[in-house]
Amino acid sequence: MRIDRLGLVRYGHFTDTSVVFARPSAGTSDLHVVYGPNEAGKSTLFSAWLDLLFGIPTRTSYNFLHDNRSLRIEGEISHSGGTLSIARLKGSTNTLLDAATEAPLAEASLGAALGGLDRDAYTTMFSLDDDTLETGGESILDSKGDLGQLLFSASAGLTELSEALRALHEEGAKWFKPAGRKHRLAELKTRLNDLTAQRKAVDLQVSAWRKLTQAHAQAEAGYRDAAARRSQTQAKLELLRRDLDAAPMLARMQKLQARLADLPAAQPLPADWRKDLPDWMREEAELAALLPEITQAKAEAARALAQLKDDPAALAVLPRLDILEGQFGAISRQQADLPKRRDELAELHARMTRLADRLERPDVTAAQAVLAPNVSQRLSDLIETHAVLLNAEKTAQTELDKAQAGMQALHNEAPLDETALARLAPLVEELRRADLSRAKADAAAALETAKGGLERTLAALVPWHGDAAQLAALDLPCPDSLRAQDSALTQAMRDARDARADLTRLQAVVARLEAELGRADPVSAGDAAATRAARDAAWQKHLATMTKTSAKAFEAAMRADDALGAAQLEQARVAERLAVLQQEQAALALAEQHCKAADQQVTRMQDGVRALWGRLGVTEDSRSIADLIDWLARRDKALDADAALQAAQAAQHALQDRLREAGIALCAALKGLGREMREADYATLLAEAEAVLAAAEGMRQAARLRRELEARQAALNKAQAEREAWQAEWDKLCATSWIGTPAPTPAEMRAHLAVVTDLSALAPQAETLNRRIARIEEDINSFHAELSQIAQHLNEDPAPDVMVLWPKLRQRLKQAQETEATRARLQAEAARAQNRLDDLAQRQARLASAIAPLQAHFGTDSLAQIAQQIEAINRAQELAEEISALRHDLAAHLRVTDPAPEIARLAALDPDLANAEAATLAATLDAQDEALRTAYAELAQAEKAMESTGHDGAAARLDAERQTLLLQIKDEAAQFMARQAGVIAVEQALRLYRDTHRSAMMGRAADAFAMLTAGRYTGLSTQPDGRGEVLIAQHANGAGKPVDTLSKGTRFQLYLALRAAGYLELATTRPSVPFIADDIMETFDDTRAEAAFRMLAQMAQHGQVIYLTHHAHLCEIAQRACGDVQLHDLTAL
């Protein structure tokens, strides 16, 4: 079966989309890779294929774009019976249609093509994703490497088989364990024994039952009589206690009634009178206190206003004086600072005069001595340049003298051929770096050392003897292979030892089980039913007659039924022991085979070790693999020493060739320079060549000195010209300034410039200070003139000094301002007093209006007297309410509607006599309580005695429960036997499946595993472990590893190889169906991914294989691994 086309008409986010899986040509793989980025629809594609085959589920997550009624999937499917063109809708019936005619199709038309697979079976056996790959790797750990289980899991796609078998074993052990005491069957047997004992304890004679019945009737009558007497006493005591409790309540009510008689009659008053009266009283008191105080304040303000004297002239000039107020502070500081500034100016003039005298030019004043900044700066630059020019001229002359002396010391020699020198120089430099003389000595020493090393290592190889060539020709395994063999031999010996121990243990177990196996007479179902019916009939007869004869007959029937039940249990136990014995006998036979196989394996491996030593000529049996590994290490050292000797000899030969070639080259180079030295050795030739190169270097030095002499003469001429230009500029600057001619020397000019610099700094300061003094004098004169005008306006005498006139004018203006402010304040106080008087008058009128109704009602104008009368009326109202509440409480306590008739009785009550009577009744009640408890205990004891006799049906209940328990034991025993038989059948099926399929599947799985691990593991093998055979992974170095000890990633690869082998096994026995893998190579590198695609291509030779991925580079890898793979890009749909 294969998919030819999958149409996603309306499904998920697809609309009218189809994927065509073209049929491959003959002899090619039917492998398809479907690529699409995340969220492109790969999972949707796989889900659509399953929904097409098995129906869209009731709840689907692919109806987010199209509603349930419009979902539609189409497909074209090829199988051995022809082709199908179908469509699938969502619904409960008739969801499978013929795509061409829209006619409903039967689900059986697809079931035949699928070979009976349902949705779960198809998903489990013919699909694989990253989660199932990881779960499969973990199942290898769970199976402990069991071969049959691994092969079955791989072919069926089931990874939970080991967990299911282990759960079944544990469940069986919980119900019954032959050597255990705590299990379900033991608990049931204990409960059965308890029920039997309880049933025997409930039997009783009829006469004893009659006595118990009479005793129960007497105890019940005594209990009722004691309860009646106690009820009467308790009623009397409660009535007396109510009267005693009511007496204080009556006394308080009478006292309150007496207090109420002294108060005025209660009458209703307006609610606001009681609430507002305190406020009215406070208002009256406050008005009486404030009115005289405010009247006096108004009169005092009027008297103060009459005594004030105004100064309008001073107030008129107040704005002008306020303006001068802000200037006075600065004027006062300037007037105090003016003498200091004048002194500073005089000091500056004196300093400038002293500086001008230092120039020793009486005709030049201090102001004239100041030079322009550019002239002063240029003179300073020329002074600095002068020393530099003199030094440069002196240095050039010195260098010229040295060059002339060097030229006179040289000798004139004939020049050499530069071309020949150019060939000789690099040759000599190369030979110097090579240091061939030292290399020759080192090579000779290394050769002697290598010879000695080879002799020592060959001597260490005893008992073997021979030369290096014979040693290299020996064909022996590598140390890693030998270590693997040693490990395998050790494991084989350990396995043989364990197998013998298991054999001995199983022989003892089988012997013990055969000895314990007993015999049990068979019990038929008819015998059990007849015995049960006889027991029930005897019981019914006993219930009817209750005679001794019927009781004995029932006892005999019960014993017969119990014996039959015990026989059934013994029969079940014998069957269980027989099943266990058969299991152990099968295990014993398998252990004998394992023991024999283990001994044979040890013998074969030991023969292999002796054969390896025989290649070295050693026949001793005591030699081990570890000794051979040590000998191989010494052999490697000897081979390394031989290689070192050969390398030393080759190095010496190469050095001799190099010396000969170097001598020939030196002779040829010297001949080109006119030196013939054919018979000289290498050292002489090298010395002569170095001498020639030294002579050539001397000639080059003479040429350099001639060029340098010319350069020195040019430098001197340039220095002299620059000094002359400097002198011309110096003379010109001096002539155009007060310095004049002749010009001074640079040292003299440096002193003049220092004085000029100081004068240039002081001159601006003097000018600035002079301008500041003039501005201060001007500000002071202007301020004094303004003050004089104000004084004249106020008829005040003007003063010549500002500091005298200003305080005088300021004081007068201050007095005028204070008088004006006082007048404004007093006028405001008088106005406020009048306003407050008006407010008090309004408050008096409102108060009189509010209290007028109260004064009229109570006949008095005093609010205090009115408050006393209202308080008395309120108290009378409160007492009346309290008396009413006491009357209601008294009626409730006495349990009457009207307490008036009871008041006279309570008034005549004597408290002392009543308390004495209550104490007597309480003591009587305590004695009656004790008597009632005693009567109840006797009644309970009588009832318990009757219940324990079993005449209430307890015997029947116990017997029914016992029979139910026997049936439960029978049912659970049958379930246990069926479950154990099923486990044995499954384990036997696993062994049969392993024996039937392991040769073909093991071969396919081994090839796939070697391919997936890129040759790190070469295959798979099996090894017995006492329970069966476990799977072993063979490493490339020869070592074997149980599969449950592999790394996590390698277990994933093994599971993938086993699934591939299982698919191929199924494909050979039944029609194939499409195999779909969803991005199982997430963690694979490119090498493993390519190997996985090659494996999928092999599977695709037997059926259609589809791989879904969102990694684009996997498409390229798939094309490399399988050239005829078909690629499908979901983004192009």
- Residue 159 has a pLDDT of 44
Angle ∠(317,319,321) on CA atoms, nearest 5: 70
The two tokens of residue 764 are 């601006």
Element (H, E) at 19: strand 14-20
What radius of gyration do the chain's Cα atoms show? 67
Q: How far is CA 202 from CA 195, 199, 499, 953, 956, in A?
A: 11, 6, 59, 10, 10
Say if residue 715 is in the same domain as residue 750: no
> Which amino acid, 652?
Q
Residue 715 has pLDDT above 50, yes or no: yes
pLDDT digits (tens, 9 = 90+) for 469-485: 777 777 777 777 777 77
Quick check: 1026 and 1017 in contact, CB under 8 A? no
Tokens of 816: 């005028």
- Rounded to 5°, the CA angle 288-292-295 comes to 135
- Say yes or no to pLDDT of 582 above 70: yes
Does 963 share its domain with 891?
no
Q: Which helix (H) or strand (E) holds 1109?
A: strand 1105-1109
Instruction: Give the closest residue to 265 by CA, choosing from 880, 883, 860.
Output: 880
CA distance 908 to 508: 106
Question: HSE of 1052 in the Cβ direction (CA atoms, 13 Å)?
Answer: 17
Same domain, yes or no: 646 and 572? no
- Position 246 confidence tier, pLDDT thresholds 50, 70, 90: confident
In a domain, 546, yes or no: yes
Residues 377 and 411 in one domain: yes
3-state secondary structure of 146: strand
Pairing mode, if any, of strands 1075-1078 and 96-98? unpaired
Task: Supply 133's token pair.
Answer: 């790959």
Q: Which of 507-516, 820-829, 862-871, 884-893 has the lowest mean pLDDT?
A: 507-516
Residue 362 banded pLDDT, cuts 50, 70, 90: confident
Residues 603 and 527 placed together within one structural domain of the fold: yes
CA angle 322, 324, 327 (to 5 degrees): 125
Left (φ > 0), alpha (ψ -120 to 50) or beta: where does 101 sit?
Answer: alpha
Smallest CA-to-CA distance from 1101 within 1064, 1069, 1053, 1128 is with: 1064
Token pair for residue 293? 């105080």
Report d(CA 973, CA 526) in Å as an integer.
Answer: 19
Label residue 196 by pLDDT band (50, 70, 90).
confident
Task: Considering only residues 925 and 546, tell me which one the structure prediction assigns the higher pLDDT.
Answer: 925
pLDDT for the residue 516: 65
| Residues 393 and 429 occupy one common structural domain | no
What pLDDT does residue 8 have? 93
- At 517, the pLDDT band (50, 70, 90 cuts) reads low
Confidence at 691, pLDDT banded by 50, 70, 90? confident
pLDDT at 206: 42
Shared domain for 607 and 512, answered yes or no, is yes
Same domain, yes or no: 544 and 596: yes
- pLDDT of 155: 47
- Higher-pLDDT residue of 339, 683: 339
Phi and psi of 2, rounded to 5°?
-150, 160
Give which of 667, 707, 758, 822 is closest to 307, Cα–Cα. 822
More confident residue, 947 or 779: 779
Residue 10: pLDDT band by 50, 70, 90 thresholds?
very high
**833 in Cβ contact with 298 (< 8 Å):** yes
- The count of C-alpha atoms lying within 13 angstroms of the C-alpha of 721, restricted to the half-sphere facing its C-beta, is 6
Contact between 606 and 590 (Cβ < 8 Å): no
Tell me what pLDDT residue 156 has: 47
**Residue 117 belongs to a domain:** no
pLDDT band at 1077 (very low <50, low <70, confident <90, very high): very high
User: Cβ distance 673 to 420 under 8 Å?
Assistant: yes
The two tokens of residue 873 are: 């009326």
Question: What pLDDT score does 996 carry?
Answer: 56
Average pLDDT estimate for 954-961 = 65
**CA 1099, CA 639: separation in Å to the nearest integer?**
49
Judge whether 767 lies within some domain: yes
**Of the segments 167-181, 211-225, 303-317, which one has the largest average pLDDT value?**
211-225
| CA-to-CA separations, 996 to 143, 455, 1021, 1065, in angstroms, rounded | 19, 60, 16, 11
The answer, yes or no, to whether residue 982 has pLDDT greater than 70, is yes
Read off the pLDDT of residues 325-342 as tens digits, 9 standing for 90 and up: 667 777 777 777 778 888
Q: Which of 379-388, 452-461, 811-820, 837-846 has the highest mean pLDDT?
A: 837-846
d(CA 948, CA 209): 11
Sheet containing 14-20: order of strands: 14-20, 2-11, 72-79, 82-89, 96-98
Q: What is the pLDDT of residue 56?
A: 93
Distances (CA, A) of 1116 to 439, 1090, 1113, 1122, 1126: 56, 9, 5, 10, 11
**What average pLDDT score do residues 576-597 get?**
75
Tell me, what's the pLDDT at 569?
A: 64
722, 389 in Cβ contact below 8 A? yes
Q: How many domains does the chain have?
A: 6
pLDDT of residue 417: 61
H or E element, residue 1040: strand 1040-1042
Report the mean per-residue pLDDT for the chain.
78
Poorest-confidence range of 51-55, 261-265, 325-329, 737-741?
A: 325-329
Phi and psi torsions of 100, nearest 5°? -85, -45
Report the run of H or E that residue 1031 belongs to, with start and end.
Answer: strand 1029-1035
Kindly tell me if the per-residue pLDDT of 660 is higher than 80: no
Structural domain that includes position 193 = 184-205+953-978
Q: Are residues 699 and 605 part of one domain? A: no
- The mean pLDDT of 111-127, rounded to a whole number, is 80
| Residue 449 reports pLDDT greater than 80 | yes
Specify whether the CB–CB gap between 930 and 233 falls below 8 A: no
Report the candidate in 54, 61, 148 with the shortest Cα–Cα distance to residue 107: 54
**657 and 596, same domain (yes or no):** no
Percent of the chain, pLDDT > 90?
A: 8
State which amino acid sits at residue 726: W
Provide the pLDDT for residue 571: 66
Q: What is the pLDDT of residue 991?
A: 60
Out of 50-59, 352-361, 575-584, pick the least confident: 575-584
258: in domain: yes
Place of tokens 């029609």: 1071
Distance CA 399, CA 401 (A): 5
Task: For residue 472, give both structure tokens.
Answer: 């290299």
Residue 41 lies in a domain: no
pLDDT at 697 over 80: no
Chain segment 985-1027, per-residue pLDDT in tens: 776 666 665 555 556 677 788 888 888 887 888 888 777 665 5
1113 C-beta neighbours (distance < 10 Å), count = 10
Predicted model pTM: 0.35
Q: Binning pLDDT at 50, 70 and 90, where does residue 157 land? A: very low
User: Among 401-415, 437-451, 766-780, which is the least confidently predicted range?
Assistant: 401-415
Alpha carbon distance 266, 259 (integer Å): 13
User: What residues contact 332, with CB distance under 8 A and at least 6 apart?
Assistant: 802, 803
Identify the pLDDT of residue 148. 44
Q: Which of 866, 847, 851 is nearest to 283 (CA)?
A: 847
Residue 154 lies in a domain: no
| Strand, coil or helix: 1023 | strand
Is pLDDT at 962 greater than 70 in this prediction? Answer: yes
Q: Is the pLDDT of residue 378 over 80?
A: no
Q: Are residues 503 and 397 in the same domain?
A: no
Distance, CA of 350 to CA of 357 (rounded, Å):
11
The pLDDT of residue 285: 84
Residue 162 in any domain: the answer is no
Ramachandran bin of 413, using left for φ above 0, alpha for ψ from -120 to 50, beta for the remaining angles = beta
Mean pLDDT, rounded, for 894-901: 80
| 38 domain residue, yes or no | no
Asked if 870 contacts 269 with a C-beta cutoff of 8 angstroms, the reply is yes
User: For residues 703 and 406, is the Cβ–Cβ distance under 8 A?
Assistant: no
Q: Domain boundary at 928, 948, 968, which?
A: 948
Verify that 382 and 455 share a domain, yes or no. Answer: no
**Residues with Cβ within 8 Å of residue 67, at least 6 apart in sequence:** none
